[in-house]
């Protein structure tokens, strides 16, 4: 697909803290679904965004931070690339992080569109992290921020402690169900079973009391 007939401009935005031992080669491999979709042969070749004013895909070795502000032309099949990227970044992430993905309808012309026509714009929020607990923590923090921002129009922040507690309760229940489902599939002790290990997130996320 050429950039001229691609129905969407797709913007990927997020900051992902990476583990200290992660190498550039690992980052390049994890992000291959992105740069290969753009038709590049390497991360260095595909890191530049379609828009010059955007920094593209950058890695700060000192801060161990992967920064993405990158646009590519494409179609809805790009969602598969995102799933593959997130699975790979889970293995490299030091903490949980959110990645925003926006699909802009490149074929929609507001001036020529009829009164009932709407752009096919879409928005996704994706999450990566070393454990399910780390991912849930990011989801919880974003939800609390959104709810508090909305409700502070009508209530003082000091009045919202109960609302935050209820959100924590919901995430705590979800976390407990996740742990229970993983425990059911865990091999008996003594048979080499690894338990929750690095994928189960055996530690409850903070705030989720």
Measure the CA angle with vertex 122, ends 110 and 77; round to 5°: 115
Could you tell me the pLDDT band of residue 184, with boundaries at 50, 70 and 90? Answer: low
Backbone angles phi, psi at 54, to 5 degrees: -95, 140
Q: Are 83 and 74 in contact (CB under 8 A)?
A: no
Range in 16-25, 29-38, 116-125 the model is least confident about: 116-125
Is a pLDDT exceeding 70 seen at residue 74? yes
CA 72 vs CA 10, 12, 24, 26, 27: distances in Å? 5, 8, 22, 22, 19
Average pLDDT value for the chain: 84
Q: Are 9 and 71 in contact (CB under 8 A)?
A: yes
Q: Which CATH architecture has domain 8-130?
A: 4-Layer Sandwich (3.60)
pLDDT in tens, 113-151: 666 677 788 999 999 999 988 998 998 888 888 888 888
Ranges of CATH 3.60.90 domains, the chain = 8-130
- pTM above the 0.85 mark? no
């Amino acid at each position: 697909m050429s950039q001229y007939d691609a129905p969407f401009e797709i913007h990927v935005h997020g900051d992902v803290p990476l583990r200290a031992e992660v190498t550039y080669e690992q980052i390049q491999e994890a992000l291959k679904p992105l740069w290969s979709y753009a038709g590049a042969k390497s991360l260095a070749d595909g890191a530049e965004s379609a828009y010059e004013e955007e920094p593209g895909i950058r890695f700060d070795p000192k801060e161990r931070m992967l920064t993405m502000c990158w646009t590519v032309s494409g179609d809805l099949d790009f969602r598969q690339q995102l799933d593959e990227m997130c699975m790979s970044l889970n293995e490299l992430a030091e903490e949980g992080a959110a990645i925003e993905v926006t699909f802009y309808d490149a074929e929609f012309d507001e001036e020529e569109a009829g009164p009932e026509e709407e752009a096919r714009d879409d928005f996704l929020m994706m999450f990566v992290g070393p454990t399910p607990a780390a991912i849930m923590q990011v989801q919880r923090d974003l939800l609390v921020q959104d709810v508090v921002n909305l409700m502070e129009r009508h209530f003082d922040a000091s009045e919202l402690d109960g609302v935050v507690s209820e959100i924590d309760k919901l995430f705590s229940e979800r976390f407990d169900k996740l742990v229970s489902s993983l425990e059911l599939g865990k091999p008996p002790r003594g048979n080499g079973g690894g338990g929750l290990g690095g994928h189960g997130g055996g530690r409850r996320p903070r705030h989720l009391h």
